[in-house]
């Protein structure tokens, strides 16, 4: 017999499938749904319950987790006759682990204030390998008491030492988006200086090592760029279309909090230029190609 | 008795004064000049010879080093009746250690090809403290044989392990400019994400630590930004007007080698916006203020 | 006796109040609603019917017009128990005259395809004065037959010679956003060259006249900028917060159709910098101030 | 017999050849030189004197005009044993009609103050056709008395009604550069909105006409863009490499007067991207191609 809470989980894609497998392994009873029912087969074989709608997931669970591609998908599973809000009990808990922006949750909090829902945002980093191995980094925004109460759930999916309570509601989204934005900015900034230096006659390896040895060192130039330089690998595991999506969310967040961000906006457009030129499925490091040849 | 070569040195500013002291300490006979004769007092007391012009420096030395603020200053001491070219012997050596662009040296190499001059570029990093302690990092562009022959001269001024031969003529300039450009780009990129995250409700310290723990880590966010966060210190030791000068040279280099560089160009303009708003003498990290308010 | 169709109208703000008055004057029976019931007083005195919800507007009208501030407002009046879609008859007509993006209408068209709704987008230019005088310019996207059928409705609100059928569904939105984007881009581009020229010693009036006489002439430099130069008027009638909203929609449209747009993105951020510095209510021409000081 | 002053003219390229022909036709005795002696054949046949160097031109003339590709060329003909300064009499007149920046003339004015030279900048617009027909527009910077005295010289080359005294020394350069900058900015801004609108489903012709009829109208969208739309002509008569050169000078001017110019800087980089992609000889309107396909 388990007395762990029943976890509802909506979104069984690359990330969600690993995360649910780890929740199941940790003993959490699961209720799941997805647009593609076949994605739940293994979980159901392991004892998970299939639900026909987000509303049903919410009605049958102690807490609901969403792990979806975009804010629009999040909105779509919240509202309407089949939505989470139609099924969740008053005072119930919803954790959004999607890479998203604060607005959808803010609207729920405002428009349904009287229902006393507990809402947390908890985006992750670590890619599908982190999801599969239960070693995700998790950035949680919300009330401290909720975070403490839900810690065992997060620990089933992430590295216990890297589950960070980063602030009030919305802070988790912000941290995740800013990490991505800064990495993308580093990529473009580095691509430019490498291209200029090489065209000016410096050997690429020597230039990279000089940067690594300098105050301009970064994880990108020290480690990540080697994937391109050593293997010609632009990381097709993370498509540039997804990177553009994240960059769009990051600029949307800057808009909504009123911070002008010229450099970040230019980074988004350079990513979009690379996406237009090399296709949606090109790897997230493809903008470097705009500076090669 | 010394049989070390006599070193001519033009430019006894913040950097040059430390570098010449270390050359003198290492036993190199010196011939020096500067627009401000008083800057040479200590060197002369130590045995250095004062020259009335760059031409005279060149005539009395085995090799000439220039350490000047801008390419224009470099051009000014090269040409004319009083210039280095009027004094240097055929086959003589000129090392430009200024943060500059390749054009002035290229023109000398082209227009005076028949004179067989040995020309190297060897910009440094490490600031005035590195100059004073003889621990500069030195990026040398030029022929390998020249670099080997002149290594003892460089070792008198820099850290022997960080004296790098980075390529043919011009490569040293390029490495130095690209290090600076990338650091300035990191500064603006980081300022934007910190401002957005904080306005979105994340604690500044938590946000910084999340970035440090992420793939978006850089020396800037891990170390340099603490000067602002912990001490409110925007590094007035390196004025923003100098940073703008370096950014201009970096864009000039991109122009001359034909690499489009949207992000770097925007970084230059953001620096110029900060310079216009906070004054020429504000510290090189002042652009961060544009995102504080 | 009129046999004109009954027009439902949602959104009685600065623009909508003038437009409905002109529809009423032209004899169209009206059913209206708005978040602020008092905004309908005059129309009701003139014979218009008040409806309690968008659904009721749609149920009581032959066609429904929306004139709302943002795509989110448009979405809000479409969906839910009180929304247009809950009241409109199958085969009914909805015209969105808001400055918006195509997505909300596209989703209706896709998700409710079987209902056979006739949907047009028809944003306007001409500001509140054009709305009040019935002289708006109207950019209509949709099927030609619908546009022809609805022409009398448009002519009640706009200048007959400037009611343009610009393409299929969505084209009206795009034309309106691109007009605004280009005007904002002209403003920033002009502000920069005027500031540079004046700082370089050219008299402002002479510089403006030289530009007007040159291939770089534009309506902005020839006419609109005079509002600032002659009267210090930055057009507070159109707040910079609205301009930022429009610029955001324009970048959103660029994203959704996959066109990289570096310059437009920078224009948006410069507008956002001016909004952050001078406040939401500053006039739409306030970014010029960033280049004055 | 003529009592017109003898005009020295250095630079007989596309522009200079037309300008000198018109000076000769107006009766001015000419002394000319150029790197390509053959370019002077026709002028010599018409009575002009050939000089072996800029110094000789200056020594034999009452006033010297330079019409050269870049500031560096201007510097090159000023200084050295063969330069203008070596030949010009004290109190003599030099008019630089090149598209350039103020610095070279400023240095002469400062370093040779005691010689009392009269120096004017007088860049032109109107392209080689304007030079050939004597209908150039001329923007003159300098002292009013000098401008008045030299008016007949300018009228031999330009349209009398479009010879404008735009301010003190340097103002002519600034006006010319700002006209070019604004036109290039209009080109990129327009290319972006046309591309977005067309991808969003608007007919290109309808979109252009809507823009022309709107407050966002400009000479570029009304007239110049037709060269591309109607004839596929990107104006190869003015190579993109020259446009990039002018954009660089314009950013240099912004730097030297301390005006941040984010948009203009991005325009320069987009031009450089087009130059890198389509080659130095592509037409000045080629950046539009970056937004096509």
The helix (H) or strand (E) run that includes residue A125 is strand A124-125
Tens-digit pLDDT profile for residues D16-28 = 999 999 999 999 9
Residue C161 phi/psi, 5-degree rounding, is -80, -10
Picking from B70, B104, B251, B287 by the largest number of D CB atoms within 10 A of its own CB, the best residue to mutate is B251
**A-B contacts at Cβ under 8 angstroms:** 242
Instruction: Outline where DSSP puts E strands in chain B.
Output: 7-10, 30-33, 49-50, 63-66, 93-96, 118-121, 124-125, 136-141, 158-167
- Given this model, what pLDDT does residue A1 score? 43
Q: Across all residues in chain B, what is the average pLDDT?
A: 95
Q: Which of these, C87, C51, C61, lies nearest to C4 by C-alpha position?
A: C61
List D residues 191-210 in contact with C (Cβ-Cβ < 8 A): 192-197, 199-203, 206-207, 210
Packing angle of the helix pair A262-278, B262-278 (nearest 10 deg): 170
DSSP assignment string, C103-160: HHHHHHHHHTGGG--EEEE--EESHHHHHHHT-EEEEEES-HHHHHHHHHHHHHHEEE
Interface of A with C in 249-268 (CB under 8 A): 251, 254-255, 258-262, 265-266, 268
Taking residues D103-126, report their average pLDDT: 95
B57 φ/ψ angles, rounded to the nearest 5 degrees? -50, -50
- Pair (D151, D222) in one structural domain: no
Name the average pLDDT for chain C. 95
- Closest to B178 measured CA to CA, from B166, B189, B169, B168: B166
Q: Are B148 and B174 in contact (CB under 8 A)?
A: no
Question: Is the domain of A52 the same as that of A115?
Answer: yes
In angstroms, what separates the C-alpha of C262 from chain A's closest C-alpha? 5
B157-164 average pLDDT score: 95
pLDDT tens sequence across B165-177: 999 999 999 999 9
pLDDT of residue C1: 43
CB atoms within 10 A of CB C266: 25
Mean pLDDT of all residues in B205-218: 95
Task: Tell me the per-residue pLDDT of C232-249, one tens digit each, with 9 for 90 and over.
Answer: 999 988 899 999 999 999
Comparing A230-234, D7-11, D217-221, which segment has the lowest mean pLDDT? A230-234
Question: Of A141, A171, A203, which has the smallest distance from its Cβ to B167's Cβ?
Answer: A203
Residue A3's pLDDT is what? 82
Interface probe, candidates C261, C263, C276, C279, chain B, greatest B C-beta count within 10 A: C276
pLDDT on residue B1: 42
- Is A2 within a domain? no
The predicted pLDDT at position D1 comes to 43
Q: Of the residues D176, D199, D275, D289, which is catalytic?
A: D176
pLDDT computed for residue C2 by the predictor:
57
Answer whether residue A90 is part of any domain.
yes
Are D189 and C190 inside 8 Å of each other by CB?
Answer: no
Is A1 within a domain? no
Cβ contact, residue pair B175, A207, below 8 Å: yes
C114 in B contact zone (CB under 8 Å): no
Residue B207: list chain A partners with CB under 8 A: 166, 174-175, 178
Name A137's bridge partners. A125
Give the closest-approach CA distance of A87 to chain C in angstroms.
16
Nearest to B97 by CA among B58, B132, B139, B62: B139
Same domain, B50 and B190: no
Choose, out of B259, B269, B276, the residue to mutate when testing the contact with D (most D CBs < 10 Å).
B269
List the structure tokens of B266.
Answer: 């925007």
pLDDT at D2 exceeding the cut of 80: no
User: A105, A139, A168: which is the final residue of a domain?
Assistant: A168
**Residue B76 has what pLDDT?**
92
State whether residue D149 is helix, strand or coil: helix
CB C71 within 8 A of CB C173: no
Judged by CB atoms closer than 8 Å, whether chains meet at D216 and C186 is answered as yes
Look at residue B70 in the predicted model and tell me its pLDDT: 92
A284 and A243 in contact (C-beta within 8 Å)? yes
Within a domain: B2: no
B107-117 burial code (b ≥16 CB/10 A, e <16):
ebeeeeeeeeb
Do D18 and D150 have their domain in common? yes
Structural domains counted in chain D: 2
Q: Per the domain annotation, does C147 fall within a domain?
A: yes
Tell me the nearest-neighbour CA distance from B163 into chain D, angstroms. 33
CB B272 to CB D266 under 8 A? no
C35 near B CB under 8 A: no
Q: Is A173 on the interface with B (CB under 8 A)?
A: yes
One domain for residues A145 and A184: no
Q: Name residue A119's beta-bridge partners.
A: A94
Chains that touch C (3 or more CB pairs under 8 A): A, B, D
Q: Are residues A127 and A207 in the same domain?
A: no
Instruction: Give the tens place of pLDDT for each residue, A169-214.
Output: 999 999 999 999 999 999 999 999 999 999 999 999 999 999 999 9
CA angle A175, A176, A180 (to 5 degrees): 115
Q: Which tokens sit at B11?
A: 């430019």
Q: What is the spatial distance between Cα A200 and Cα B141, in angstroms, rounded to a whole number? A: 11
Answer yes or no: do D269 and B276 touch at CB < 8 A. no
State pLDDT tens for residues C45-69: 999 999 999 999 999 999 999 999 9
Same domain for D239 and D158?
A: no
CATH of residue D227's domain is: 1.10.1040.10
What is the span of the domain harbouring residue C185? 174-291
Residue whose token pair is 């050269």 = D68
Determine the residue among B268, B276, B277, B278 to mutate to test chain C binding: the one whose Cβ has the most chain C Cβ atoms within 10 Å: B276
Q: Which of B168, B182, B260 sits opposite A190 (nearest CB)?
A: B182
Write the CA distances from D17 to B54, B151, D70, D134, integer angstroms: 41, 54, 17, 11
- The rounded distance, in Å, linking the Cα atoms of C53 and C82 is 6
Compute the mean pLDDT over every residue in chain A, rounded to the nearest whole number.
95
- Inter-chain CB proximity D273 and B251 less than 8 Å: no
pLDDT in tens, D186-212: 999 999 999 999 999 999 999 999 999
C-alpha dihedral, D181 to D186 to D187 to D189, nearest 10°: 120
Look at residue A2 in the predicted model and tell me its pLDDT: 57
Rg (CA), chain C: 21
Is residue B262 situated within a structural domain? Answer: yes
C256/D51 Cα distance (integer angstroms): 63
User: Is the alpha carbon torsion for B193, B196, B197, B202 positive or negative?
Assistant: positive
CA-based torsion, B68, B69, B73, B75: positive or negative = positive
Q: Look up D176 and say whether it is catalytic.
A: yes
* Same structural domain, C244 and C102: no
CA of A252 vs chain C CAs: smallest distance (Å) = 9
State which residue of chain B sits closest to C266, comparing Cα positions: B266
Q: Do B261 and D269 touch (CB under 8 A)?
A: yes
In a domain, C1, yes or no: no
* Domain shared by D149 and D253, yes or no: no
- Closest Cα in chain B to C274: B290
Q: Is C33 helix (H, G, I), strand (E, B) or coil?
A: strand
Domain termination site, one of D145, D168, D191: D168
Reported in sequence order, the residue ranges of chain D that DSSP labels E, i.e. its strands, are 7-10, 30-33, 49-50, 63-66, 93-96, 118-121, 124-125, 136-141, 158-167
DSSP state of D201: T
Q: Is the same domain home to B213 and B139? A: no
Q: Between chains, do C260 and A248 touch, taking CB under 8 Å as contact?
A: no
CA dist., res. A5 & res. C190, Å (int): 62
- Tell me, yes or no, whether C163 and C195 share the same domain: no
Q: Are C28 and C21 in contact (CB under 8 A)?
A: no
CATH of the domain at D84: 3.40.50.720
The Cα–Cα gap between A281 and B211 comes to 27
Q: Are residues C202 and C139 in the same domain?
A: no
Chain A residues in contact with B183 (beta carbon < 8 A):
214-216
Q: Give partners of D (≥3 CB pairs < 8 A).
A: B, C
Nearest CB to B262 within list C262, C276, C277: C262
Using an 8 Å CB-CB cutoff, list chain A residues near B213: 137, 162
- Burial pattern A202-235, b for ≥16 Cβ within 10 A else e, equals beeebbbbbbebbbbbbbbbbebbeebeeeeebb
Residues of chain B found within 8 Å of residue C293, distances taken between Cβ atoms? 276-277
Distance from the Cα of D49 to chain C's closest Cα (Å) equals 35
Last residue of a domain, one of A168, A193, A218: A168
**Residue B24 pLDDT greater than 90, yes or no:** yes
Burial class (CB in 10 A: 0-12, 13-18, 19+), A5: middle
Interatomic CA distance for residues D193 and C263, integer angstroms: 10
Region D244-273: mean pLDDT is 97
A262 and C266 in contact (C-beta within 8 Å)? yes
CA–CA distance, C63 with C28 (Å, rounded to integer): 11
Q: Is position C280 within any domain?
A: yes
């Amino acid at each position: 017999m388990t007395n762990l809470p029943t976890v509802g989980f909506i979104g069984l894609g690359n990330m969600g499938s690993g995360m649910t497998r780890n929740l199941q392994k940790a003993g959490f009873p699961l209720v799941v749904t997805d647009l593609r029912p076949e994605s739940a087969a293994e979980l159901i074989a392991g004892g998970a319950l299939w639900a026909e709608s987000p509303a049903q997931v919410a009605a049958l669970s102690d807490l609901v987790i969403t792990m979806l591609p975009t804010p629009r998908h999040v909105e779509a599973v919240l509202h309407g006759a089949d939505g989470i809000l139609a099924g969740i009990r008053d005072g119930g808990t919803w954790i959004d682990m999607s890479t998203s922006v604060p607005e959808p949750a803010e609207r729920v909090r405002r428009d349904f204030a009287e229902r006393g829902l507990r809402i947390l945002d908890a985006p992750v980093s670590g890619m599908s390998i982190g999801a599969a191995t239960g070693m995700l980094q998790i950035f949680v925004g919300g009330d401290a008491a909720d975070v403490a109460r839900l810690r065992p759930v997060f620990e089933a999916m992430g590295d216990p030492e890297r589950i960070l309570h980063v602030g009030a509601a919305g802070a988790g989204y912000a941290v995740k988006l800013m990490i991505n934005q800064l990495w993308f900015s580093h990529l473009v900034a580095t691509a430019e200086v490498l291209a200029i230096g090489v065209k000016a006659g410096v050997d690429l390896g020597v230039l990279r090592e000089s940067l690594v040895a300098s105050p301009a060192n970064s994880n990108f130039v020290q480690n990540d760029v080697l994937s391109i330089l050593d293997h010609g690998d632009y990381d097709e595991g993370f498509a540039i279309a997804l990177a553009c999506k994240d960059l769009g969310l990051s600029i949307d967040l800057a808009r909504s909090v009123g911070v002008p961000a010229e450099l970040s906006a230019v980074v988004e457009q350079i990513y979009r230029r690379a996406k237009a030129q090399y296709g949606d499925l090109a790897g997230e490091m493809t903008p470097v190609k705009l500076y090669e040849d």
